[in-house]
Amino acid sequence: MRILITGGSGFIGTNLMQHYLDRGIQPVNLDWNPPLDPAHAPYWQNCDILEQDRVRAIFQETAPTHVVHLAARADTDEHHDMGGYLQNHEGTRSLLEVVRETPSVERLIVTSTQFVCEAGYQPKDDLDHKPFTLYGESKWLTEVNTREAGLSCTWTIIRPTTIWGPWSLRYRDLMFKVMRKGLYLHPANVRVVRSYGYVGNVVWQIDKMLSAPVDQVAGRVFYVGDRPFDLRTWVDAFHRALTGRKVRYIPGALVKVIAWIGDGLALLRIPFPINSGRFRSMTSDYITPMDRTIDAFGEAPWSLEEGVRETVRWYDDVSGPIIPHTLKDVRQKERARA
């Protein structure tokens, strides 16, 4: 196996890189950001996914047999201009042209998102979609581009759920710090079922797909993550691991008022641990159909408790010096070219 990972410097990508390094396989990381883990620097190729000639040169040099396409802008902060997510759909389209030209490629996994369907909407089939953000729309276009690319290799689309674990700086910089300070509050008397996934299990699922029989994965869509669970179970597990105490529950109406305060402080660019968006996440079900993935590849190996322990160990022993990547706006580059 000669594996190339686009976006190997990101959260899931860092874990996937380490998975193959641990197996004695040296992946190629194609990313415009340096690796989060400095130990991965020897495998990094500094490359913008939109620069097709550069991408093509790397493919010709490395002749990968397996490609996992993770590179993307993954936030939901852009609300008005699809151009803000150009590297998602157009970057994928450009990459797919290179994959089609590269005869060595046998397997390809393209990463979409659960956000191609809004919360509460259960897709009837692989083509059913109902995005509710520009990010979700850009990822639906990513799926369309993949289906229309005319690829000769075996390709599969994955839709990650809400993924957590080591190398997730979002949780490091928000929830974990708040919990450690004893400031985390959760709405009481609200049972919320969410689709989350420990990153170790997602990496395991990706690896399974790359080696599965062709007829099991070719042209199919799989959600990746864990079985949906009560969010309070996850919150309590992390709070106990970080503080040794159970999480504090307060009336949901009070949490909502605190979230409104956070909205106001955000307008003043003052950091605050909760806003209305996070409140909705804490109080809204988001269930994705994981049965197809589990039926095809089996139960993933990491339990919730094991994932929490490994994440807190990383948080305490490794995460401190890591500097988050700066969001790069591809529209600035497009304007400069014009």
* pLDDT at residue 335 tops 70: no
**In whole angstroms, what is the distance from residue 139 CA to residue 112 CA?**
5
Which amino acid is present at 122? Q
Q: How far is CA 66 from CA 5, 124, 220, 324, in A?
A: 9, 30, 17, 28
Predicted confidence at residue 332, as pLDDT, reads 65
Q: Quick one: average pLDDT of 213-231?
A: 96
Predicted confidence at residue 333, as pLDDT, reads 61
Three-state secondary structure call for residue 147: helix
105, 153 in Cβ contact below 8 A?
A: yes
Q: Does residue 79 or residue 51 have the better pLDDT?
A: 51
* pLDDT at residue 25 tops 80: yes
Q: pLDDT tens digits for 292-306?
A: 999 999 999 999 999
Domain with CATH 3.90.25 in the chain: 165-195+226-288+301-319
Predicted confidence at residue 52, as pLDDT, reads 97
Q: How many other β-carbons are positioned within 10 Å of the β-carbon of residue 18?
A: 18
For residue 338, what pLDDT band results from cuts at 50, 70 and 90? very low
Q: Quick one: average pLDDT of 67-82?
A: 93
In whole numbers, what is the pLDDT of the chain averaged over residues? 93
Burial category of 291 from C-beta neighbours within 10 Å (exposed 0-12, middle 13-18, buried 19 and up):
exposed
Q: Does residue 72 or residue 190 have the better pLDDT?
A: 72
Superfamily of domain 3-160: NAD(P)-binding Rossmann-like Domain (3.40.50.720)
Predicted confidence at residue 27, as pLDDT, reads 98
52, 25 in Cβ contact below 8 A?
A: no
Predicted confidence at residue 334, as pLDDT, reads 53
159, 116 in Cβ contact below 8 A?
A: yes
Place of tokens 């990153």: 199
- Percent pLDDT > 90 in the chain is 76
Predicted confidence at residue 183, as pLDDT, reads 87
Q: How many other β-carbons are positioned within 10 Å of the β-carbon of residue 165?
A: 23
* pLDDT at residue 331 tops 80: no
For residue 167, what pLDDT band results from cuts at 50, 70 and 90? very high
- Give 165-195+226-288+301-319's CATH code, choosing from 2.60.40, 1.10.3470, 3.90.25, 3.30.1490: 3.90.25
Closest CA to 205 of 66, 298, 130: 298
- Percent pLDDT > 70 in the chain is 98
Lowest mean pLDDT among 45-54, 183-192, 193-202: 183-192
Q: Quick one: average pLDDT of 248-268?
A: 86
Predicted confidence at residue 265, as pLDDT, reads 86
Domain with CATH 3.40.50.720 in the chain: 3-160
